[in-house]
Structure 1
């Protein structure tokens, strides 16, 4: 498989091949205009690396509600080092499953819900989070970066996630929400609850990444079982967190400091995120090309004002390949965009694949356009009455 995309967007940057390869790894250089900044800090993290080679940056991932907890469970299966995982829910039974898989858990709103869930009511979810503000603040304390991940539309996720995000932001952490919007077949009420919750999230976080489950229908095979379709949606949340976290915490061929990531994500608003994969001789170019040609691309790359790009491959991945991937879509990036990228070697990779993870920020979108179709409608024709 020469090119493969699993979610929304992939972008990267380069200058000419000779200029790129001639650059000293310990230096930063600018291309494409005074505002376009590419950091090549091969050794910048090493002095700060604790034992084990991971960044001292404190990253906490808080999964809120059922969808968020499911994403946490999947992240634990991936065994990411250097990240603290929390499952926050009103459903005590669901928290038991997350705890069994190794997550720290917080049962919020025990007075409001008695551990029985929010019953699909966001107001109950909000009240549960408000009841447990002190406990949530304790979870967020000391973090440099907090991910709040959730499936929007339900009671706990829609009601509690904005409160959790607000508390995380108040703690001083860079706060990023990665959330999914429901499938259309889940109903108009659930979609409205999701839209309202996302509007509140936008006011509470630095960056919000919205993945529309409807868009997944364009890449999921028609014979995919229903349960698997929901699992894919949960896995999107996992991949977003994993991709961004690994950029920061794993030492690589080209390292990215937390300060670099913060410069792109701080108060950046709406963002798009994606992962592309390629194999074979042209794997780097194919991964980039597959990403930018995806039907999931809701907004052109050139509209982004900031991009974080990371490329992960096995020990055979070369700097030349990083450059080739960058060149594929360099012309699509705004000249004034702030570009930060890294390259990481994964010694555990046994195949010849490379993976590109990108966060593109700073889109000037009207209302809640991310994840909607060309006409701004979340519902397919057969549900919208068109």
Structure 2
């Protein structure tokens, strides 16, 4: 009897009862972590990939929208400040990608200048839009230089200010060639 009532209630729900969800993959690590995600299968309305590398963006086939930060000819940014400056030029594009989303899930690597900085910016924009923000970031490999761990701590500190929840995971162990 109880199962029937629950099924009936679920069938009566309209799509409007569900929050609009966006998954935003930031940087190469975020893209790699999200490669197998199929939006409709998991109830994700929009998948957005943001990176400074067009090769990484092109590898992410499930993205509804791909945002290239910077220009290929200019090369990869070498500091978080350079990424922030380049991303500022794409602020309206990023904000449009987040419009209407009640839940924004940000996936990225905490140690990368691109992924970490972009994840923080996306969290800021999503928070301003009134979205619930969940960030899933990976910690650097143990053998990586200390500079990467320092950058990861900076990223985590920034994300904690702008995300409702931050989940830290170990680095992904997946072969990915760009």
| CA distance in structure 1 between the partners assigned to 2:162 and 2:116 by the alignment | 13
Shift of the 75–25 alpha-carbon distance from structure 1 to 2, 3 Å rule, reads same
How far has the Cα of 1:116 moved from its partner? 3.5
How far has the Cα of 1:47 moved from its partner? 2.6
In structure 1, the residue matched to 2:48 is: 86
Higher Rg of the two aligned structures: 1
| CA distance in structure 2 between the partners assigned to 1:147 and 1:115 by the alignment | 29
Match of 2:33 among 59, 67, 71: 71
Shift of the 44–208 alpha-carbon distance from structure 1 to 2, 3 Å rule, reads farther
| CA distance in structure 2 between the partners assigned to 1:202 and 1:44 by the alignment | 37
How far has the Cα of 1:26 moved from its partner? 9.4
- Give per-residue Cα distances to partners, 1:286-322, cap 9 Å, x unaligned: xxxxxxxxxxxxxxxxxxxxxxxxxxxxxxxxxxxxx
Match of 2:13 among 48, 59, 63: 48
2:77 counterpart of 1:118 = yes
TM-score by length of 2: 0.84
- 2:37 alignment partner, SS class: helix
2:171 counterpart of 1:231 = no
Shift of the 56–192 alpha-carbon distance from structure 1 to 2, 3 Å rule, reads same
How far has the Cα of 1:109 moved from its partner? 3.4
Unaligned runs of 5+ in 1: 1-21, 28-40, 214-228, 235-386
2:67 counterpart of 1:102 = no
The structure where helix makes up a greater share of residues is 2
Shift of the 26–189 alpha-carbon distance from structure 1 to 2, 3 Å rule, reads farther
2:118 counterpart of 1:163 = no
2:147 counterpart of 1:183 = no
Shift of the 108–44 alpha-carbon distance from structure 1 to 2, 3 Å rule, reads farther
TM-score by length of 1: 0.41
Shift of the 156–47 alpha-carbon distance from structure 1 to 2, 3 Å rule, reads same
| CA distance in structure 2 between the partners assigned to 1:47 and 1:64 by the alignment | 36
Between 1 and 2, higher relative CO (CA 8 Å, sep ≥ 6) is seen in 1
In structure 1, the residue matched to 2:158 is: 200
Match of 2:98 among 126, 129, 140: 140
| CA distance in structure 1 between the partners assigned to 2:83 and 2:36 by the alignment | 23
| CA distance in structure 2 between the partners assigned to 1:165 and 1:64 by the alignment | 11
Measured on the aligned residues, the alpha-carbon RMSD in Å equals: 2.8
- Give per-residue Cα distances to partners, 1:217-236, cap 9 Å, x unaligned: xxxxxxxxxxxx6229x9xx
In structure 1, the residue matched to 2:107 is: 149
Shift of the 124–177 alpha-carbon distance from structure 1 to 2, 3 Å rule, reads same
How far has the Cα of 1:151 moved from its partner? 1.0
